[in-house]
Amino acid sequence: MSDWLHHRLNRAHPTNLLLLSYVAAIAVGTLALMLPAATASGDIGLIDALFTATSAVCVTGLIVVDTGSYFTPFGQGIILFLIQIGGLGIMTISVALFQVIGKKVVFQQRMAMQEVFSHTPREDIYHLIRSVLFFTFAVEVVGAMILFFFWRSAYPFGEALYKAVFHAVSAFCNAGFSQFSSSLMAGRASVMLNMTVCALIILGGIGFPVVYEIYRRAVLGESGKVSIQTKSVILASIGLLAAGMAVILVSERTLIATLGWGDGMLAAFFQSVTCRTAGFNTVDIASLNTATLLFMMFLMLVGASPGSCGGGIKTTTFAVLTAFSWSRLMRYKCVNLFGKTVPDDTVAKSISVLVFSLAAICVAVFLILFIDPDHGSRVQGDRQFLSFLFETVSAFGTVGLSMGVTPALTQPGKLVIIVLMVIGRVGVPAFTYIIAGGGSTRGVQYAEENMMIG
């Protein structure tokens, strides 16, 4: 059996291994959450357990039942474990364990790690994975210690520690799960809580390759030019964060005035950070203006950076698409970024990622509305379509923010969101490879003929 499994792993493509690892983790997590000890009532439906497990493994944060009241500490522990392995990547955990016990890691597993954590081939992939694990646990421990001191005055020692660890892991893994029914709205005015959670989200969403490159330069003193990936990620992240904060301050000026300038600035900064990947909220999302929600959907669609805990089309894709649009507008021959020319294949891949992502979101919204034409009767307010569109973008970006319609989804609707969360976590390029296969060797090239565009 062991030889057969080893043979199959060697033959499998890395992207297939990644998908299978997530599916296996979701299946095991679903069964674990259906144990009587996992829920306060001792019972949870199969679809709800599957939805919760998928949301945890895909580090999304969308919930169909309240995490803090519906699940026991044991059930919350299962969710926390699923968030941790989902954020790091199941393949990362398995390769690390194989290294610890001295078992040989098959070539395809190494290639899977290469695709996740590095944009260029590198010989020190094992060292990179060890660095990823050390960085993850170090940041989570520091974050948990700060959050513990924040909650220590309001809760007993053990409960404060548990809440601190749960939210630190959830924030760093960009999951957005909270033990509080109102997320982090109760701590909206706390600078300590807001800054700690935001720091965890940013460090978890900026991408391990970027963190690793910064570490090697800042700590180990390596020289040479900074890669355009690192430059693109940092510039895009800062730009999107600033833009999101500015839009919220302007669009929600009435809310900001009500909260006060200090708390309003803090809330705008927090939501600009969290709506990219994490899903925590310190304001009522459903009460925000339509313009704000539209821009938040744009931020959720972009998402985090490659090799991180977040989803979306990624900041690098956004950077390449922006550079491509500018080059076409200025009629430049090539797409350039930071004094480097971006390969045509990379530009084409970025366009494909955007098109596939928008198509997946549109199809998901259509299916949800088509399956249940009576959905409006279960959703309060006059923005039903916007609510479901927001939900699907949040699921695809593995963000977890919601206007409150998740519990109103039908069983088929929940399945649609489950599939969308898996696509968002595995990644569009990997998912399209699984569907269509790799390479561009198929097809026939005919004589060219021009056509009008635009």
Distance CA 365, CA 2 (A): 43
411-426 and 344-371 are packed helices; what angle lies between their axes, rounded to 10 degrees?
A: 170
How far, in whole angstroms, is CA 236 from its chain's centroid?
Answer: 16
User: Is residue 158 predicted with pLDDT exceeding 80?
Assistant: yes
Residue 359 CB coordination number (10 Å): 10
Report residue 52 as tokens.
Answer: 């919760």
For residue 337, the surrounding DSSP H or E stretch is strand 336-337
Q: What is the torsional sign of CA 401, 284, 43, 38?
A: positive
CA angle 165, 193, 252 (to 5 degrees): 130
Mean pLDDT of the chain: 84
| C-beta of residue 49 within 8 angstroms of C-beta of residue 33 | yes
Supply the pTM of this predicted model.
0.88
117 vs 315, more confident: 315
Q: Tell me which of 46 and 373 has the higher pLDDT.
A: 46
Provide mean pLDDT across the span 78-103: 69
Indicate if the pLDDT at residue 370 is higher than 70. yes
pLDDT score for 409: 87
Please give the DSSP secondary-structure letter assigned to residue 336: E
pLDDT digits (tens, 9 = 90+) for 109-118: 555 555 555 5
Q: How confident is the model at residue 247 (pLDDT cuts 50, 70, 90)?
A: very high
Q: Is the model's pLDDT at 54 over the cut of 90?
A: yes
How many C-beta atoms lie closer than 10 Å to residue 169's C-beta?
A: 24
Q: Which region holds residue 45: left if phi is over 0, alpha if psi is between -120 and 50, else beta?
A: beta
* pLDDT reported for residue 5: 45
Give the residue, 410 or 245, on which the prediction is more confident.
245
Predicted confidence (pLDDT) at residue 187 exceeds the cutoff of 70: yes
Judge whether 335 and 324 are in contact, CB under 8 Å. yes
**Which of 81-90, 96-105, 356-365, 405-414 holds the top average pLDDT?**
356-365
- Sequence-ordered list of residues with C-beta below 8 angstroms from that of 142, at least 6 positions apart, any chain: none
pLDDT at 45: 93
pLDDT digits (tens, 9 = 90+) for 398-438: 998 998 888 888 899 999 999 999 988 887 766 665 555 55
Query: Residue 50, class by beta-carbon neighbours within 10 Å (0-12 exposed, 13-18 middle, 19+ buried)?
Result: buried
pLDDT at 300 over 50: yes
Per-residue pLDDT of 165-174, as tens digits, reads: 999 999 999 8
